[in-house]
Amino acid sequence: MQLTEIARIILLLLLIVCAIGVNFGKSLLQAVIIFMSYSSIMCILWVLMESPDLAITEAAVGAGVSSVLFMLTLRRIHTEDLRLEALEQEARKADAAKAQAAKSEAGKAPAQADAAKAQAAKSEAGKVPAQADAAKAPAAKSEAAKAPAQTEAAKSQTTKAPAQAEPEKSSGKSSTTGSVDKTGDAT
């Protein structure tokens, strides 16, 4: 076996490794670098197969222009990622500020509600005695009006004539309202 054949076999194996490595690269930069390696190996293989025109084309297009375009694309993607990341951070900060404002408003609302309840309780406490006095006044007036009428009724029953007291006893009903019997004693 000649040296060129051994070199071709090694380069073909490296070519297979590069093709598989592009798929399993962890980042896009690694994939671009492996792709550049693949194009360079292909360029060397074309030279070994005595095809210089294909080797030059592969070097210019595969390893040169395509790799530069991939690198520019990666840089653009990186700047876009940084810009989007900055926008996401600003959005998170704005959300955090809104949440904090909502919490402070929520904290103020119960405190304001408690203050309003306390104010209402104080005003109710001031109104209750006045309302109670107002409610007691008509009741006291009606009781005062009833009291003379009751005393008059009691006097009239105690001063009943003995003739009126007699029928009550004869009917078998006992009167406990202070009626007077024949002797003039109150029962």
Given this model, what pLDDT does residue 186 score? 57
Q: Answer yes or no: is 68 within a domain.
A: yes
* Residue 32, CB-side half-sphere exposure with 13 Å CA sphere: 15
Single pTM value for the model = 0.47
Rg of the chain's alpha carbons, rounded to an integer?
Answer: 57
Given this model, what pLDDT does residue 37 score? 92
Count structural domains, the chain.
1
Q: Answer yes or no: is 43 within a domain.
A: yes
Given this model, what pLDDT does residue 2 score? 86
100: its two tokens: 């904090």
Q: Which helix (H) or strand (E) holds 79?
A: helix 66-158
Given this model, what pLDDT does residue 85 score? 93
Given this model, what pLDDT does residue 175 score? 47
Q: Answer yes or no: is 42 within a domain.
A: yes
Q: Give me the domain span that covers residue 35.
A: 3-73
Scored b (16 or more CB within 10 A) or e, 148-185 reads eeeeeeeeeeeeeeeeebeebeeeeeeeeeebbeeeee
Ranges of residues in the chain whose predicted pLDDT is under 50: 128, 161, 163-166, 168-175
63: its two tokens: 């390893």
Given this model, what pLDDT does residue 55 score? 92
Contact assessment for residue 22 and residue 31, using Cβ atoms and an 8 Å cutoff: yes
CA-CA distance, 60 to 73, in Å (whole number)? 18
Given this model, what pLDDT does residue 66 score? 92
Q: Answer yes or no: is 10 within a domain.
A: yes
Q: Which of 81, 65, 64, 107 is nearest to 27 (CA)?
A: 81
Q: Answer yes or no: is 113 within a domain.
A: no
